[in-house]
Every structure is written in C-alpha cells, then in structure tokens.
C-alpha cells in the first residue's frame, strides 16, 4: 500500500467531486457532508505518512513512478521527504477545516463552491509530491482554476479586480518558469546523449555554468517570489485576501503562499546552487524589506482582514530570510515558520470570518467591546494573536527564534533589523486586539452579537492545540525534516559555492566567535 498512499490521498478529493456530480444542487446537506467526508478522509490518511515516515534518511519515501508520456520522458513520479511532509499534511488539515467553516457562510451556488474547494485541494497536494517537472507544472497551474472561481464568484464587492490581478501575476511567473523547464529538458537531452527527461533528480545533476544558472534561476525564482509573495511582487495578495471568502483566505494564506517558499527549497536551491548563493544577499534584503514594509502597512489598516493579509507579507519575509541563511537553524526555522503561518494566519482568517458572519463588517472602528458579548470567541482570538506575534511557548516563537539565530550566524545586521519586525508585529496586532475586543461598546449593534457555536469552537480547538504543541514540544516537527535539510545543505555544489562566496557554514562559524571578534575589534 505504501507506494500508492500518496496517490490515494490526492485522489480522494477527485472521488468526492465525482460522487457529488449527480446530486441535486438543492440537497445542500448531502453535498456538504460528501465534501467534508472526503476531505477529512484525505487528512486522516495523510497522518499515515507521519506515523510511517523514516526520519533516519533523507531519501524520498512512498515513491511511485508510472510512465505517462513516454516519448518525452514524462512520468507520474511522486514522493515525499522531510521538506514536503508537513506541508502535505498541513494542506489536508486546512482543507477539511475550510470546508467545515463554510457550513453556513456559503448560500449561493454551494455545489460549485464545494467542487472548487475539492479541486483546489487536489491541485495543492499534487504540487508538494511531484518529482517530475511536467507533473509539477500541471498541478501548479491546475490550482489556479478553482481559486479563480472561489474569489471571482464567492468573493467581496471588488472580487473581479482581485481575481484577475491574482491570475495575471501568477501566470506571468508561471509562463517564464515553463520556458525555463523546457530549456532544462533540452540541456538534459544533449547532456545525456539524446534522452528526454523531466525528472527532478536528473535536473539536479546537470553541470550548468553560473551564467546559465542565473537565467534559469531567475525564471523559477520569479514564479515562486510572486507566490510567496516577496516584496515587491506582493501587491496582488491584499486584494485577493480581502475579497476572497473566508475558506478561500484560509487556503490562500495557509497553503498557496507556501507553494512559493517550497519551490525555492525543492527546485531553486538543488538545481541552481551557484545562482542561489550568488543571489542570497538580494533575497535577504528583499526579505527584510518585506518584513518591515508588511508590518508598517499592516499597522495603518482599517479592515481587520486587510491587516492580517499584510501581516502575511511580513511573516513570509521571515521564512525567506531563514532560508537565505543557508544553515541548519535558518532552514529549520524557515520550514517550521511555513507551518506556523498556515496555522496562526489560517486561524485568524477563520476568526475574522466568524465575526463577519454576525456583524457584516470587518472595520476596526465598527467593532470594540466585543469581549462583553463574545468571551469565547475573544479567548480564541487572543491566543491566536499572541501566537502570531511569537509569544514564548507558542508556535510563532520557535520559528522566529531559529530564523533569527540562523541569520545572526551569517549577518548580525540583518538579524537585528529583522528582529525589529517582531516588535512592529506586536504593536499592530496588540493595538488591533485592543480596539476590536476591549474597551466600551460604542456601537449598539455589538450588544446583539452571539458567541460562537459548538461547530465553530470545534473548528478552532485544533489550531490552539497545534499552537502550544509546536511551541512547547517542537522536536516532534523537527525530527522528520532534519535529515532532508542536512542533505540539502551538504550538496557539494552548494558547499563549493558558499566557500567561494565566503558564506560561513554551521561547522565553521559560531555566534560566540562573532561576538568575540567584534569585541576584539572594539578594543
């Protein structure tokens, strides 16, 4: 069963769509139940991957390769390792919760909405397990279709503008990546003496000169930077987040943005190590700008959902900064922060959606004193907000601490500037919390609000469990990824490029040495 477990997991959403097809649109409860059941089943099966994952190896596991388009060496080749395991499970986790959260929120065209959610889950899961570049690109583009409809049909007042902007931004990067994939295949064709292949592992073995790497890296990196989104390619994100329905925002923040950061880990670093090292300073600077810029813009937002959207620009900046450190701590922090952002920001969008269903506004000035009428909702809101700003013993602290530690080993200045982003995050999140939930009720409509129901409580409880689980006992999550990170960093080409650029590695550099060196220079 092991070779087919990934295929079974990603196939379940498609089976759910097929089961729903003949059912009448008026049978809403049956449609909801089917979509929820198949998405939940995918999550439960994905847990099998964790419990049977071999943490002692960096090799791909649960692999399956079936010839597909043999003339061009295209295969259905899937597998998973420590870099993708948690992102795959995060996708299945957020998908069934997003569907459950829409139980009462979506009233029009419900069948189409649920089909779009399941198709989106199928596409996202495929991205994280594809080991064939053609297969990866198919899944990468496929997920655009349901997200286009989710925003365009079930979004807010400016949904058409937001969805067109989202698609145009993504397509520009995707088409350039497709060109780069074709170039890689042609190079591999001549390198291997006339054999076509789209296999990812084969591409990592190509001896590409730096000039070739730079151009190909730029094409891939642009597609991934738009998806992250890195500054200055972030402008599509706030519009898409604000206009998307709650379930769409949860998936967009929790999973789709991670497809960009995952792309750098899975493709850019292994295939173009010299180019990545050459551009690592630029990536670090853009990440720091994103951290500070996202925090400052979030601070002046009047809409709670827009504030959370801009906070994503800041949080994902930390992910890219940790990755650019190219050491164990930075990489660990980067991957765990991807998971943390999916948990904390996904929960924040759910919480904002819950009050929007009751109050029909997200403006901070229209809220205030909500604690008096919604104490349980407020409790969840406070916990998730504190996790988002990285309070010790919460998930956010673990990721940010490791990222800053990894960055500090490489560049103390970058670490200090990035740390100011945490202070800014505390400022805008706590200020927003104070204005929304505390103080006196100034709007009489807020006195009529009802607290969250049992379904909504059950939706939020898993997020709180994960917040404290990762914050208190993070080794559960680090263990499966460590060998894969070590293998990524021990790539001979990457090591050589780092030595040429005088970028210190973990075993060559310590924080203590930096402090001692600075102290001696000061004397």
pLDDT computed for residue 1 by the predictor: 55
Give the DSSP letter of residue 373: T
Q: Is 34 helix (H, G, I), strand (E, B) or coil?
A: helix
Angle of the 475-489 helix axis to the 85-101 helix axis, nearest 10: 130
Spatial separation of the C-alpha atoms in residues 349 and 410, rounded to whole Å: 35
Number of domains in the chain: 1
Mean pLDDT of 108-118: 91
pLDDT of residue 285: 94
Q: How many CB atoms lie within 10 A of CB 182?
A: 13
Q: Tell whether 382 is covered by a domain.
A: yes
Contact 140, 226 (CB under 8 A): no
State the DSSP H helix or E strand holding residue 78, giving kind and residue range, or none if neither.
strand 74-80
State both tokens at 284: 């670090």
In a domain, 466, yes or no: yes
Looking at residue 192, the DSSP 8-state letter turns out to be: T
Residue 362 lies in a domain: yes
Please say whether the beta carbons of 165 and 241 come within 8 A. no
Please give the helix or strand (H or E) that residue 68 lies within, else none. Answer: strand 61-69
- Specify the pTM: 0.92
In a domain, 89, yes or no: no
Q: How far apart are CA 43 and CA 301, in angstroms?
A: 35
Answer whether residue 176 is part of any domain: no
Q: Is residue 358 part of a domain?
A: yes
Go through 188-212 and write b for each residue having 16 or more CB atoms within 10 A of its CB, e for each that does not.
beeeeeeeebbbbebbeebebeeeb
> For 129-188, what is each residue's pLDDT tens digit?
999 999 999 999 998 899 989 998 888 888 888 888 888 888 888 899 999 999 999 988
Is residue 207 in some structural domain? no
- Domain residues for 373? 279-523
pLDDT for 501 beyond 80: no
Residue 76: which H helix or E strand, with range? strand 74-80
Q: What is the pLDDT of residues 36-72, one digit of tens each?
A: 999 999 999 999 999 999 999 989 999 999 999 888 8
Residue 262 within any structural domain of the chain:
no
Q: Which CA distances in Å does 252 have to 146, 239, 256? A: 12, 12, 5
């Amino acid at each position: 069963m092991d070779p087919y477990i990934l295929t079974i997991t990603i196939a379940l959403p498609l089976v759910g769509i097929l089961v729903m097809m003949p059912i009448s649109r008026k049978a809403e409860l049956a449609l909801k139940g089917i979509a929820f059941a198949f998405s939940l089943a995918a999550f439960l099966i994905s847990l099998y991957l964790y419990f049977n994952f071999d943490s002692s190896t960096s090799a791909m596991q649960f692999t399956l390769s079936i010839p597909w388009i043999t003339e061009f060496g295209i295969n259905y080749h899937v597998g998973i390792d420590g870099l993708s395991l948690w992102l795959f499970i995060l996708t299945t986790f957020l998908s069934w919760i997003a569907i459950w959260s829409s139980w009462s929120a979506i009233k029009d065209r419900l069948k189409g909405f649920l089909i779009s959610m399941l198709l989106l889950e199928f596409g996202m899961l495929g991205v994280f397990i594809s080991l064939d570049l053609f297969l990866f690109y198919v899944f990468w583009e496929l997920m655009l279709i349901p997200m286009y409809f989710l925003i365009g049909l079930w979004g807010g007042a400016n949904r058409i503008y937001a969805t067109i902007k989202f698609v145009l931004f993504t397509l520009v990067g995707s088409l350039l990546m497709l060109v780069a994939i074709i170039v890689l295949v042609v190079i591999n064709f001549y390198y291997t003496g006339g054999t076509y292949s789209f296999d990812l592992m084969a591409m990592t073995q190509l001896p590409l000169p730096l000039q070739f790497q730079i151009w190909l890296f730029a094409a891939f990196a642009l597609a991934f930077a738009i998806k992250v989104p890195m500054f200055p390619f972030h402008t599509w994100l706030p519009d898409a987040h604000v206009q998307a329905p709650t379930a769409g925002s949860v998936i967009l923040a929790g999973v789709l943005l991670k497809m960009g950061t995952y792309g750098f880990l899975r493709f850019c670093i292994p295939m173009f190590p010299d180019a990545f090292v050459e551009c690592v300073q630029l990536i670090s600077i853009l990440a720091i700008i994103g951290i500070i810029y996202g925090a400052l813009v979030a601070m002046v937002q009047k809409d709670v959902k827009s504030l959370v959207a801009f906070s994503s620009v800041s949080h994902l900046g930390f992910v890219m900064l940790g990755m650019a450190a190219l050491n164990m701590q930075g990489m660990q922090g980067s991957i765990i922060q991807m998971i943390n952002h999916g948990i904390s920001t996904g929960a924040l969008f759910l919480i904002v959606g819950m009050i929007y269903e009751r109050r029909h506004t997200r403006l901070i000035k229209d809220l205030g004193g909500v604690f008096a009428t919604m104490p349980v909702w407020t409790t969840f809101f406070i916990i998730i907000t504190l996790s988002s700003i990285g309070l010790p013993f919460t998930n956010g602290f673990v990721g940010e601490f490791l990222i800053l530690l990894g960055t500090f080993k490489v560049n103390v200045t970058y670490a200090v500037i990035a740390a100011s982003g945490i202070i800014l995050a505390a400022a805008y999140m706590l200020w927003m919390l104070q204005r929304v939930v505390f103080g006196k009720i100034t709007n009489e409509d807020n006195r009529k609000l009802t607290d969250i129901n049992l379904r909504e409580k059950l939706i939020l409880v898993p997020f709180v469990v994960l917040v404290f689980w990762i914050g208190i006992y993070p080794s559960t999550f680090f263990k499966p990824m460590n060998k894969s990170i070590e293998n990524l960093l021990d790539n001979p080409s990457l090591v050589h490029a780092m030595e040429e650029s005088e970028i210190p590695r973990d075993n060559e550099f310590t924080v203590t040495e930096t402090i001692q060196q600075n102290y001696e220079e000061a004397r």
